[in-house]
Amino acid sequence: MKTREIYVCSACGASAAQWRGQCLNCKEWNTLEARTVSKEQAKRRGSTPLVSSGSAVIPLKDVEEDSHTPFGTGMRELDRILGSGLVPGAALLIGGEPGIGKSTLLLQVAGGVAESGKQVLYVSGEESLGQLRGRAGRLGALHENLTAISTSKLDDVLPVLEAANPPDLLIVDSVQTISSLRVEGLPGSVTQVRAVSIELIETCKRVGTSLLLVGHVTKDGQLAGPKLLEHMVDTVISIEGDRRQMYRMMRVIKNRFGPNQELIVFEMVQDGMQIVDDPSTYFLGARDPQLSGTAVVMAVDGQRPFAVEVQALVSRSYLSIPRRTGLGFDVNRLHLLLAVLEKRLRLNFAEVDIYAKVGGGMKLQDPGMDLALIAAVLSSFYDLPLPSKSVLWGEVDLNGQVRPVASHDIRYRQATRLGYKPVLCPETEPETGLRTIVQLQEALFSKNG
């Protein structure tokens, strides 16, 4: 039988993969004793201490409220969506594609927190300290309170947290590059990511350090590693966007201290990522309303309305099976809406290719874009532009009826504020409300209806 030597604390029973002078669990000195066990027994013991905490069951009303006061990140809008800032002892997970700007944003946050007088430790498992220093200097984030370490070993980080004055903020970039000697497996494996995350989160909660973990994503855009990681942390944030575009979107997926599904729009500039204060029309760009095949949808992400351009191109096909392509939304939505148009408006799309996309590289999952997508397709099909200040939203069902969507009041107020007219939406608005796509065609293309 294959054996392995571990070290067990005689005071509390916690196990460790290597000897150290002080037990990390009970803080007693010179209590670790060597024991030889099978590899299966060592694996069952795990990386967490096997010791009773002695916790007692008490009435919830007798529990004292958490007195931790959040501190700012240096970005007012980021503090707002996090719920007044970073909470001491809380764990936050940030995910995004490579090169999307995760490290850049976290260095800006580290500089802002350090400038406020807090101690920050930046753990880099991907870059050297020289590379980190050069980027921090370009971003203006250098400060005496900002310290850094370049390592891929968890045991280099834990002693800093266990010191007399632990940092107020710990940034780990990234959790997939850090490994623990107490478990087997390569860095980035499910076992290592789970073990490293558990130790970091538990230690930071015990000493009151805010923790920011950077996570890699898979090909599908999902956070890599065990799903347990998303349940363990208090906040999950995703940074999205096209690396070839100047903008980035930060989306709050989970938040125990503030609102969910909130969104911040950043613009990538030479000095880092800057927050776009009013992104209402940011995604329209240099739009020309005199061209056919374009429509403006008042989309909503979280509680924030955006005016986004939807583009469509209908052209003659030379293929036996015409093409149907969609970018920035689910292409199945395009197939469904084209079938509704053929059935309800008696149009023939059998000999045309149809391409559609969301302008600005943005990705929309809002069902309210149905009406704008249909209007853009019809505009290109008839080769007639829509009214220059028109805006649309509404869901279209399989019978061609226009149905209300969430946040209708928010959309309508924003459209009115921006001066859009006509506003084509579900019939909740008596003046411009629509019930079917037949009414949409009559309102926009009466000559071709």
**Residue 97 counted as an annotated binding residue:** yes
Chain mean position to CA 82: 12
* Intra-chain end-to-end CA distance of the chain, in Å: 82
Residue 18 burial (10 A CB sphere; 0-12, 13-18, 19+): exposed
**Residue 215 counted as an annotated binding residue:** no
**Residue 388 counted as an annotated binding residue:** no
Task: Quickly tell me which residue has 């060592």 as its tokens.
Answer: 42
Query: Parallel, antiparallel, or unpaired: how do β-strands 247-255 and 32-38 relate?
Result: unpaired
**Residue 74 counted as an annotated binding residue:** no
d(CA 120, CA 177): 20
**Residue 210 counted as an annotated binding residue:** no
Contacts of 247 (CB under 8 A, 6+ apart): 241, 265, 266, 267, 268, 276, 282, 283, 360, 361
Task: Quickly tell me which residue has 């090169």 as its tokens.
Answer: 99
Write the single-letter amino acid at 73.
Answer: T
Task: Quickly tell me which residue has 């130790």 as its tokens.
Answer: 199
Task: Quickly tell me which residue has 């411009």 as its tokens.
Answer: 432
**Residue 61 counted as an annotated binding residue:** no
**Residue 180 counted as an annotated binding residue:** no
Look at residues 273, 293, 302, 427 and name the one whose alpha carbon lies nearest to residue 366: 302
d(CA 41, CA 28): 24
Question: CA dihedral defined by 43, 46, 51, 53, rounded to 10 degrees?
Answer: -160
**Residue 357 counted as an annotated binding residue:** no
Annotated binding site: 96-103
Annotated binding site for ATP: 96-103
